Amino acid sequence: MASLDDLKKRISSVKSTQKITKAMKMVAAAKLKRAQESAEKGRPYSQKMNNVILNLSSGISDKDNAPKLLSGTGKEQIHLCVVMTSDRGLCGGFNANIIKKAKSYFLKIVSEGKELKIITVGSKGNDQLKRTFGDKIIENISFKNSKNASYFDAEKVGKSIIEKFEKEEFDICTIFYNQFKNVITQIPQSQQIIPLNVENDNQNNVVDSYEFEPDEDEILSNLLPKNISTQIFKAMLENSASEQGARMSAMDNATRNAGEMVDKLTIEYNRSRQAAITKELIEIISGAESL
């Protein structure tokens, strides 16, 4: 049995850990509110963008000459995967969930004999994927310095992806991110952004007739690169909200566990203190009796 002093030390150490996790939870909760707000505010833009593209692509007469970002290169040989994770740890299963989803997709691609290229966004994903897929990672982008997800950052990622596409370095691009559902649930998502899956989001079937100025093709070729940045930005916003949510619930759990541990240790401490007192009493009494 540990001595009284040791127990005391352990209790105080667990207590200070609990203070830290509690503080982290508070910080995450405050950040989550902001991240959630900006995720919600960012939705109209990507939705409208989607609508416009939907209208445009259905208006396109000549499918064969459609921009490559929409129709694809006609091959599916080289897959580019953009895995978006956080830059910081201590957020529960947040990063692990994305990595798991991404890895199973990677294995599928590799087993089909296709070529795989990976871009990681965020350092945690890079750290975890380095071990198994290190040779496949072609780029690692990290936004450690910028506090909030900004469109400027997303544009940088988008541009580098489009540049690679124009050099024909890949045929299909998929992004992996966590979709924010609520504080406890984040759903790892994979979304194909090149070529664009238009049929997928065909929810509002009312396609209006528009006048285009200039013509559809020109607008589309101008719009599609923007849409990629927008999709990446949306993923970044969802991701940052998810990260804070995951961290908040992870830290909440940690705080609760620390509390339980403190309770258990306190009971043990009191018990051994009582035992020591009893032992001393017995010694004194038996000493007095023997006189």
Partner 1 sequence: MSEEFKIEIVNPEKSFFSKDDVIETVIPAFEGEMGILKDHISIISFLKPGIITIRSKSSEEKFYVEDGIVEFKNNNLSVLTSSIYNLKELDKVMVQDLIKLAEEDASKSGISDQSKYLFDQKIEVLRNLN
Long-range contacts at 38-45 (CB < 8 A, ≥ 24 apart)? 38/148, 38/149, 38/237, 38/241, 39/180, 39/237, 39/238, 39/240, 39/241, 42/233, 42/234, 42/237, 43/234, 45/230
DSSP per-residue letters across 89-126: --STTHHHHHHHHHHHHHHHHHHTT-EEEEEEESHHHH
Least distance between partner 1 and beta carbon 249 (Å): 26
Burial readout 24-57 (b: 16 or more C-beta within 10 A, e: otherwise): bbeebbebbeebbebbeebeeebeebbeebbbbb
State the catalytic residue, choosing from 80, 81, 91, 137.
91
Q: Which of 21, 230, 239, 255 binds partner 1 (CB under 8 A)?
A: 230
| 91 labelled catalytic | yes
Nearer Cβ to partner 1, position 191 or 257?
Answer: 191
Report if residue 42 touches partner 1, rule: CB under 8 A. yes
Q: Does 210 bind partner 1 (CB under 8 A)?
A: yes
For position 214 contacting partner 1 by CB under 8 A, the verdict is yes
Return the residue of 20, 29, 52, 162 that touches partner 1, per CB under 8 A.
52
Contact between 205 and partner 1 by CB under 8 A: the answer reads: no
Interaction of residue 265 with partner 1, rule CB under 8 A? no
For partner 1, the closer of residues 212 and 267 by Cβ is 212
Interface with partner 1 (CB under 8 A), residue from 48, 130, 271, 279 = 48
Which listed residue (8, 22, 55, 162) binds partner 1 by CB under 8 A?
55
- 122-161 residues in contact with partner 1 (CB under 8 A) are 150-151, 154-155
Instruction: Decide: residue 230, CB within 10 A, 0-12 exposed, 13-18 middle, 19+ buried.
Output: buried
If you ran DSSP here, which 8-state letter would residue 83 be given? E
Selected from 213, 286, 287, 290, the binder of partner 1 by CB under 8 A is 213
The answer to whether residues 87 and 239 touch, using CB atoms and an 8 Å cutoff, is no
Distance CA 49, CA 23 (A): 39
For the annotated catalytic residues, the residue numbers are 91
Binding site for partner 1 (CB under 8 A): 38, 41-42, 44-46, 48-49, 51-52, 55-56, 150-151, 154-155, 208-214, 219, 222-223, 226, 230, 233
